Structures are given as structure tokens and as C-alpha cells.
Amino acid sequence: MKTQKINETAEIELAASGKCSENLSMHLRLWAWTAAVVVCVLAGGQLPHGPSEFILLPVLWLVGGTALFGIYSVGKSAGHKRSSFLNTVLGTMSMLPALRTFATFHHKQAVKKGSMYLRTVPLIGGLYDMIVQDFGSASSSCTYILNISFVWSIATLFFIGVVYTFGIGVLVKFWVIPFMIFNLWVSSAWKITLSLKLSLRVPKVLNPGKYASKIIEKARKAGWRKRVFWLKVYTVLFGKDMIFTLEDGTEMCRKLVKPIIKKERTTTMKVKRKNKWVTRIWLFGSPLIALYGMMTTRLQATTAIISVIFYFVGGLGITAGYHRLLSHRAYECHWTLKYLLLMMGTSAFEGSALWWASDHRTHHRFTDTEKDPYNANRGFWYSHIGWLLNEPHDHHRAGDFSKYSDIRDLLKDPFLKFQHKFYGPLALFTGLFVPAAVCGIWFDDWRGGWFYAAFLKAVVVQHSTFCINSLAHFWGESTFSDQRTPRDNILIAFITFGEGFHNFHHEFPDDFRNGIRWFDYDPTKWLISISNFLGLAWNLKTFESQAIEQGRLHMMQKELDRKKEKYDWGPEIKTLPEMSRSEFNRKVHEDGRSLLIIDSVVHDIESFVDKHPAGPKLLKIHIGKDATKPFNGGVYNHSYAARHILARHRVARFVEQ
């Protein structure tokens, strides 16, 4: 009914809707974007050496990658409009640097639900889409196979020619990075599509190229407001056909993309979402800056050492300071160590200690529930980084902090309140300027200091500690409890400063240790122990060993029980019916049953007589008798294997009357 209603009003709304992209034809966009690629290639060879190169080169990458996506959009439009000339000749040849072909659009392959998630993951989604598109239906037509063969054969010559003539560095510098940006655009196109599907309820039968203007108008009426402008720019640059036709309302879509519009808005009140864009820019921008620096800056040995040192400084500031000291109060320490750890944690770019501890205490109180800030049940990527991209709903917050946790003990500390108020400048100073200054002043490597000791270090520290919320909830063993998702994994401990024994930590959260055995890799525990030895830390909390071992044995027993369920252990004795002496004799002598008694249990060995290792004769002489004494050593003390086989032949409990 919904689809029918939209189709009935489509023509009326289309007449009143904007026609932003109709003024640019496929031909114009094709040559415009192709010219942009050519300009980028020519300009790249003329870049001046010096500081200006570091500004111009990223601009060329962005323009070049976007231009490749623009040409890709022409190929998609050509595929929809069945223009074989543009589709197979101009489009294919222009897209050789990006290794794409457009013949597959003629086949109009259905999008599988399982592929929607991968297609929207930044960069990975674009690569996945390329593989599926270029190889998914290679046997569908001879033309398509020839098309792909042409693309990849010319691409092979392209790679060999560039590497042979200019070197692999030029290939990486002027092709790999624009290619990555191109694939970021591809994955973002899928993300936009799913957002439209959920927010505007665009049905499957709606032709996106024909009704793109109507979709934009519907978005404006529904309340997208600022997003409408960017959606118009998007369709002007890349064409209306880049709004893909996908199945609507699938469960995968609902899990993947949060609807922007839940219902038509009746108020224009704006909801302020703090740090959303700042956080996103940092999380996605800092890796690009670090990557750029790694490709353009030589790493010196001293800078590498300083980078590793500051990596541990930031990581241990989070694990020993933010986590075990402030969030769990697993130990007490001198004020100098407390504020040193606070400064170290500030350099990790993971928010203020008050904000961090508030969310973490909520995480422990409501693990794996909707109130958990980084609920692992919402998926790996959500618990790793996705939860940081948007502010929680207002009903989960009390100001800047979670309303489900009590941090009044921390709010008494003026230094923690100061750090929370001025966290941004403090993080930039301790996390970027200090390590860069150390490398620059002491070793005269300012450039390496900024890119390696500052930005690369920050990225690695963040994702190392993010793994505690993601990997440590998905991969490993439930050593002490299986009530929640946390796992123990020694490999994760190596990249999380000892926090990989996460199942133990969630079961015994105020223990200052994570790795309880002396050989467990837990540098955070070692730092706290050394501080205790030096008199800087005291009251180190440890859980009673009996409770720890009981938890371990409980899980071992559950695992053992799970394995035992796979095998037939025979009926339990207490569930067997009773059999009297008279009934036993009657069944043996009158009915001819092969029954014998062992340990007051009647066994029917008819099917086993001929299988007995000592021969059937030895068994037959005990039929109708109590064979307890011969079975338990009178003739032979039978093995556990024999007793397990015997258990499967139980039929009754013997009752002497």
C-alpha cells in the first residue's frame, strides 16, 4: 500500500521538485571528471618540493579520488540508460586507473542482504563492491567477460609501466591513495542509500534516477533540512543514479543505519549533540594524517623509540589511571602518581577522566544491555568505535555523564574537574605537542615527531585500548563466567596493556590485576606493583583466591558437562524401575532374558554376550546371578571403559524381597 501511494503521487510531486542534476548531462560529467583526473596527474608531476607540497598533495589526492568516483557515477548512469557507447567504451576506458567496469549494470543483479553491511564499511565497502561487481557474474555473458579481460589486461600494463618508469613510490603516492578515496566514496554512496531507505521509506520499485528530485523534496518536508543541501550537491556532482535501488526495510538495514527521521517533525527545536563532529574528524582524520606522514617522512631510530615510549605512556595512563585507579578504585596512591597517571591518560585522546569513568562504571553495571555505552551485542564495530560517533540519547545522560553511574567521589577532586573542563587543549598539548617537541628539540626531527610520535602514536594507542571494548568481548575464553560477553585472551592482552584477561576483570572488577598468574602479560599490574614497592601505591585490592578458583572450576565443570552430553552414559540409576527377585528369576528362566545383577542394578547383556573380550562362555555362566564380586575383582577388576559399556545396559534397580 505504501508503494502504491508513493507511485500515485510521484508525477505530481516530480513536477514541483527541484531539478538540480538535470542541467548536467552524463557526457558533461564524464569529460569534466576525466579532465580533473588528467589535471591531477599533470599537477602531481609539477609539485614543488618544500612545505607547500604537504598542503597541495592531499588536495590532489582528494580531487583525484573524487574525480574517479565521478567517472564511476557516469558509468552507473550509462548502465541504467542502456547507453552501450558510454558504458562499454568511454566509461570503461576512463575507469581503467580504478579497475572498474560497468557492463554488470546491464544485468541488474539483486543486492544480497548479507552484503549490505560490508558495502557500507568505509573503504572496505568500496573494495568489496568492486570485487562483487567485477567478478560476481563473470559468466553471465561473453561481452561482460571480454569487458573485464580488457580492463585488467590494460591495468596490468598500466601498473608495470608506472612501476618500471617511475618506481613503486609514485604508484603508491599518485594511485593507491586516490584509489582508497574513490572506494570511500563508493561505500559512502551505499550508506546514503540505506539512510534514505530507512528515513524516507523509499520503496524498492521507485526508480532513483527518475525520482531523485522527488526524494530530495520528501527529505526536505520530512525534516532533513541541512542534509537536503548536501544531498542536492551530491546528485549534481555524481548524478541521481548514485542513489541505488535496494530492498527496503530489511532487518540488516535497521541494524546498520540508524534512521535519521523517525517521524515527521512537528517542532523545529534543535538538539545539540556535543563533540559529534569533533570526535568524527579526529577519529577519521588522525589516521589519514599518520598515513600521509608515514609515506612522506623517513622514520629515524630515535623517533621510533620515543614513539614507543609515549605509546606506553598513553596506554598505561588509561589502564592504570583512568581504569583501575579512578573507575574501579582497585588501589590507592600518592597524589603525585595520581596526577601523573592523569596527565598520561590525557595524552591518549580518550576523553576526560570523569567522562571516561562515568561511562565505564555504567558499562560494568549494565554490561551487554541497552544502557551499556559500548554494548557488544550491537556488533563489533559499534563497541570498537561506533559508539563514539554519536552522543547517547538524552534519557541516558545527566549533563556530560551517564545517569546510571555514581561518580560523586571523583567530582570532589578539583584537578579532575579542571581536566574535564579544559580537556581539548590539555590533550593536544600532552598528546601531540610534547612528543613532537621531544623529538624536535632533542633529536632535531620535528617532522618525524609530529607524524610518528604524535599522530601515529595517538592512533595506535586509541585502537589498542578500543580493542578492550570490542575484541575482548568477542574473542577468547569464558574462564570464570559465561553470563556476559567478556573473554580472556592472552593475545589481546599484548595489545591492550594487560587488559586482555577481560572475563576475569568483569567477574572480579575491583581486583588491581587482570592477569593473576605471575607469567600473565599485564604491564598495568606490574606498574602498580612497582609503585607499591616504592611506597607510591597501597591498599592493592585482590579478590579472595577461593572465589576465583570456584569460578574457574565452575566453568570447567560446565565445559565438561557440555562435552559429556555428546555421549550415551546410560540411564541414571534413580530413574530405573524396581525389579524384585521373583520377577528377575521369571524373566531369566521363563522369558529367556540374559539378565545379571551388578551393584544392585539389573543389566540386560543380550546384545553384548558375543562381544565380550573373554568370550561369551564366561558371561553366560553369570546370567541369572549376582555378578558383583566377579566383576569387581573376584574374576577380573574391570576397567572404566567396561563400566561405561555396562552402564548402557541398565534396565532396573534390583530389590531383594
Q: Over 50: is that where the pLDDT of 42 sits?
A: yes
Give the per-residue pLDDT at 600. 92
| CA–CA gap between residue 449 and residue 178 (Å, rounded) | 26
Q: What is the grid cell recorded at 440?
A: 624536535
Residues 554 and 503: beta-carbon distance below 8 Å: no
Give the per-residue pLDDT at 86. 52
Give the per-residue pLDDT at 108. 45
| CA–CA gap between residue 227 and residue 224 (Å, rounded) | 5
The tally of CA atoms less than 13 A away on the side-chain side of residue 3 is 9
Give the per-residue pLDDT at 1. 39
Higher pLDDT, 387 or 275: 387
The CATH number of 573-655 is 3.10.120.10
Q: What is the mean pLDDT of residues 200-208?
A: 53
Higher pLDDT, 553 or 40: 553
* Cα 475 off chain centre by: 11
DSSP for 263-311 reads S--S-------TTHHHHHHHHHHHHHHHHHHHHHSPPPHHHHHHHHHHH
Residues 326 and 357: beta-carbon distance below 8 Å: yes
603: enclosing H helix or E strand: strand 601-604
Q: Over 90: is that where the pLDDT of 277 sits?
A: no
Entry pTM = 0.59
Q: Over 80: is that where the pLDDT of 62 sits?
A: yes
Q: Which long-range contacts (CB under 8 A, 24 or more apart) does 515-522 make?
A: 516/548, 520/490, 520/493, 521/490, 521/493, 521/494, 522/493, 522/498
Query: What SS3 class is residue 144?
Result: helix
Instruction: Give Cα separations from 463 to 288, 350, 379, 386, 468 (angstroms).
Output: 14, 10, 16, 12, 9
Give the per-residue pLDDT at 16. 34
Higher pLDDT, 408 or 32: 408
Alpha helices in 385-522 (DSSP H): 408-411, 414-421, 423-428, 434-443, 446-448, 457-469, 490-495, 502-507
The CA-based angle 282-287-292, given to 5 degrees, is: 125
- Residue 600 contacts by C-beta under 8 Å, 6 or more apart in sequence? 628, 653, 654
Give the per-residue pLDDT at 91. 54
pLDDT band at 64; cut points 50, 70, 90 = confident
Residues 475 and 380: beta-carbon distance below 8 Å: no
Q: What is the mean pLDDT of residues 404-425?
A: 92
Q: Over 50: is that where the pLDDT of 22 sits?
A: no
Instruction: Give Cα separations from 443 to 306, 336, 366, 453, 580 (angstroms).
Output: 10, 29, 48, 12, 94
Q: Tell which residue, 460, 456, 57, 464, has the closest CA to residue 294.
A: 456
Mean pLDDT of the chain: 80
Q: What is the pLDDT of residues 291-349, one digit of tens each?
A: 999 999 999 999 999 999 999 999 999 999 999 999 999 999 999 999 999 999 999 99
In percent, the amount of the chain with pLDDT more than 90 equals 45
Higher pLDDT, 253 or 281: 281
Instruction: Give Cα separations from 111 to 105, 114, 119, 207, 250 (angstroms).
Output: 12, 9, 10, 15, 12
Q: Over 80: is that where the pLDDT of 28 sits?
A: no
Higher pLDDT, 459 or 72: 459
Q: What is the pLDDT of residues 472-504, one digit of tens each?
A: 999 999 999 999 999 999 999 999 999 999 999
Question: What letter does residue 456 receive in the DSSP assignment?
Answer: I
| CA–CA gap between residue 449 and residue 304 (Å, rounded) | 9
Residues 346 and 522: beta-carbon distance below 8 Å: no
Q: What is the grid cell recorded at 225?
A: 533540512
Q: Tell which residue, 121, 415, 76, 368, has the closest CA to residue 257.
A: 121
Give the per-residue pLDDT at 155. 74
Helices 414-421 and 353-365: crossing angle in degrees, nearest 10, is: 100
Q: Over 80: is that where the pLDDT of 111 sits?
A: no
Q: What is the pLDDT of residues 344-393, one digit of tens each?
A: 999 999 999 999 999 999 999 999 999 999 999 988 999 999 898 888 87
Q: What is the grid cell recorded at 456?
A: 601515529
Domain boundaries, the chain: 2-256, 280-552, 573-655
